A and B are shown apart, each in its own frame.
Chain A
Amino acid sequence: MTVAIPAAQRMDVERYGVMTLIRQLETEAERQYKLARIGGYCHLSSGQEAITVAAAQALQHEDLLVTGYRCHGFALARGVSPEAVMAELFGRSSGCAHGRGGSMHLLDASRGFYGGWGIVAGQLPIATGLALALVRQGRPQAVLCELGDGAVNMGAWHESLNLAALWQLPVVFLVINNEYGMGTSVERASAEPELWRRAESYRMHGERVDGNDLEAAVEACERLLTRARDERKPAVLEALTYRYRGHSVADAGTAYRTKDEVAAHQTQDPLVRTRARLIESGVAASELEALDREAAERVAAAVAFAEADPEPDVSELAAGVYAPGSADQFERMRPGSPLGELDLVFEGGLGE
């Protein structure tokens, strides 16, 4: 059967392809973590793919993206290659943060992705400043700042929203409400659990969307980002979703919720819902299955790439810590240095 598929559906098919890539890459990341080939913290976003892809793809080419540490999906949806993501998780030199960041600090400035940041709510003031710079530079773009529901009780949230509203900055604060900040439910953490309502305190627009509904999420993200670009107005968008895995790979995710609760949410799985809707609109199931297979192949290729990619060279340990030209400033600091400092840091290209 051949049916003419409308353009909007075609884009959702593409988005489905990114969603299945995220799901499969993170599933593989957990496997690699358990094989001890990925270290540190590793926070998975399985269950959150619809809002992730909707938000990242609502960005125009020169818009900016800032996220918290649950950032694998955002990196992939912003166009960072699976190879660069997996190599970073492996700590290799071709990783998107050249082995300096790991899971929490994926980034790619060339794609306007100004970081996965690791301190809850720490990225909010930075996003506010990026938006301030856009205004100062007369640039028409906007900033999307992702945060989790746990971040809304930090002072940085209040200060950033107040500044963004006071100065009318083009930034959309996307609150991914997956119901838990680590193991503490939103109801146990927030006196106002309808998080979008907090925007009212700043006379800022706020709204809530079903983050597992791809179409609704795309519509909300595109509309609020357009408003930010055109009218220079900030907004809060709360997206309701759920994470299937624990807070991080090290958390089984069972101490604070029941298996039945997780299973109930899985009936609303964004991939399942998106697949059903696309098939209903005439997309062939075989096409979506082909996307699933293609994603699996890309993940396998990314793992193979990461395995073969060299570790960063110790001789470059200090690279980037200080700006080029700083080596001369630090030249006279050598006498009396702690053991190893001269070899590891000064010979490691400090500020060269």
Chain B
Amino acid sequence: MTATAPHAQPLAVEVMTYREALRLALREEMQRDPRVFVMGEEVGVFDGAYKVTAGLLEEFGPDRVRDTPISEEGFVGAGVGAAMLGERPVVEIMTLNFLLVAMDQVVNHAAKIGAMFGGQVRCPMVIRTPNGAGNQLTAQHSQSFDQYFAHVPGLKVVAPSNPADAKGLLKAAIRDDDPVLFIENLRIYTEKGPVPLDSESVVPLGRARIARSGSDLTIVTHSYATVRALHVAERLAESHGFNVEVVDLRSLRPLDMETVAASVAKTNHALCIEEGWPTYGVTAELAARIQHACFDDLDAPVERLGMAEVPLPYSKPLETAALPNEDRIEQAIVGMLS
């Protein structure tokens, strides 16, 4: 199930890119709720560094599509303050790499408000930003810091892998009363897929998706690695007759371990894949939880695959080798099932 609907009629869908789905979610939520406003570098006049916010300035004006200077700590914190007074800021960070300079505001301020104020004050803000590698952007612009933020109580972290989820999860994030880090991905912006047009169709946080059903092995993954995993699953079905299940987490915190555990109980094999470095990473967390929740179900150790643990180089062959590319995923599965 990719969407929840308030009525039983089949939903109208339209094929669009991930980028367009995000833009549609922003537009619908800005039309629905005047408290929602967009803020960030180049979101207005420039139409967005990756064009997600294209056209919104014209439709909603400069107060609700607010260009900022290059001042991540300043305007992320301004989003926190505005959210504390009941606004619904959607702050765009050009890439996740740049959120590090605002980490203090995210981790040490936004995440603390609910607990410290005992519910008197909340922080209903969204930070949208793309992560990921693969465009020769090299060491400082190719990282996936999902786990840095998913580590923190008080934050929610979601990372859609397809256009329908991009729309439905962004709408859920904007409507959520807690700070949500919404992680997009540079390489998925141009991926196309069917997207529900119903403006009330949202994808709830904390619900994973079975992206492909299978019986031999479970891949647990999220974001762009889901796209890679689905390609490999199809390839191995043809070449080896393997029937691989792919669980797309969609949300890292909250994390839907029930869906993961049910899948592993069925396939008895778990391969966890992430775009970022695996050591202390999302896959480390998954492996720990799977070995505990599925101790009696596992026929093999839980395996992990991610970016090679080096600062990402510029050279194309080196970059490709370092990423959790489809060949590496295929080798991992063949090794586990042979």
- Answer yes or no: are A and B bound together in one complex: yes
| Interface check B16, CB cutoff 8 A | no
| Interface check B26, CB cutoff 8 A | no
Which B residues have a C-beta under 8 Å from some C-beta of A? 37, 63, 68-69, 71, 73-87, 89, 104-105, 108-109, 114-122, 124, 153-154, 156, 176-178, 204-208, 251, 254-261, 288-294
Tell which of A122, A320, A337 touches B119, judged by Cβ atoms closer than 8 Å.
A320
Find the residue from A119, A129, A132, A162 having the highest chain B CB count within 10 A: A129
B80 contacts across to A, CB distance below 8 A: 125-126, 129
| Interface check A259, CB cutoff 8 A | no
A198 contacts across to B, CB distance below 8 A: none
Can you add 6 more A-B contacts, CB < 8 Å, to A115-B117, A326-B156, A337-B257?
A107-B116, A119-B109, A122-B105, A128-B77, A162-B69, A166-B69
A114 contacts across to B, CB distance below 8 A: 81, 84, 121
User: Interface digits, A313-348 against B, CB 8 Å rule (1 contact, 0 not)?
Assistant: 000000111111110111111111100000000000
User: Interface digits, A140-168 against B, CB 8 Å rule (1 contact, 0 not)?
Assistant: 00000000000000011001101100100
Tell me the bound Cα distance from A328 to B156 in angstroms: 13
Residue contact A333 to B254, C-beta cutoff 8 Å: yes
A133-B87 contact, Cβ under 8 Å, with A101-B116, A336-B292: yes
Residue contact A163 to B68, C-beta cutoff 8 Å: yes
Query: What's the tally of chain A residues with a CB closer than 8 Å to chain B?
Result: 52
A136 contacts across to B, CB distance below 8 A: 37, 63, 82, 87
A129-B290 contact, Cβ under 8 Å, with A97-B117, A109-B117, A323-B114: no
Q: List 22 A–B pairs whose Cβ atoms lie within 8 Å, in order of A's numbering.
A: A98-B118, A107-B117, A109-B120, A115-B116, A125-B80, A126-B81, A128-B74, A130-B84, A136-B37, A160-B74, A162-B74, A163-B69, A321-B154, A323-B177, A323-B178, A324-B119, A324-B177, A326-B177, A332-B254, A332-B258, A336-B289, A336-B291
Tell me the bound Cα distance from A159 to B81 in angstroms: 14
Residue contact B81 to A162, C-beta cutoff 8 Å: no
Within the complex, the shortest CB–CB distance from B52 to chain A, in Å, comes to 22
Q: How many A-B residue pairs have CB under 8 A?
A: 185
Residue contact B118 to A155, C-beta cutoff 8 Å: no
In the complex formed, the residue of B with least CB distance to A135 is B63
Within the complex, the shortest CB–CB distance from B39 to chain A, in Å, comes to 9
Residue contact B154 to A322, C-beta cutoff 8 Å: yes
A125-B76 contact, Cβ under 8 Å, with A133-B82, A321-B114, A333-B254: yes
User: Interface digits, A87-107 against B, CB 8 Å rule (1 contact, 0 not)?
Assistant: 000000000011011000101
A110 contacts across to B, CB distance below 8 A: 120
Residue contact A129 to B71, C-beta cutoff 8 Å: no
Tell me the bound Cα distance from A166 to B66 in angstroms: 12
Tell me the bound Cα distance from A319 to B114 in angstroms: 9
Find the residue from B81, B85, B109 having the highest chain A CB count within 10 A: B81
A163-B154 contact, Cβ under 8 Å, with A107-B116, A126-B80, A333-B254: no
Residue contact B118 to A319, C-beta cutoff 8 Å: yes
| Interface check A56, CB cutoff 8 A | no
Tell me the bound Cα distance from A12 to B25 in angstroms: 55
In the complex formed, the residue of B with least CB distance to A334 is B257
Residue contact B293 to A335, C-beta cutoff 8 Å: yes
User: Interface digits, A73-90 against B, CB 8 Å rule (1 contact, 0 not)?
Assistant: 000000000000000000
In the complex formed, the residue of A with least CB distance to B86 is A133
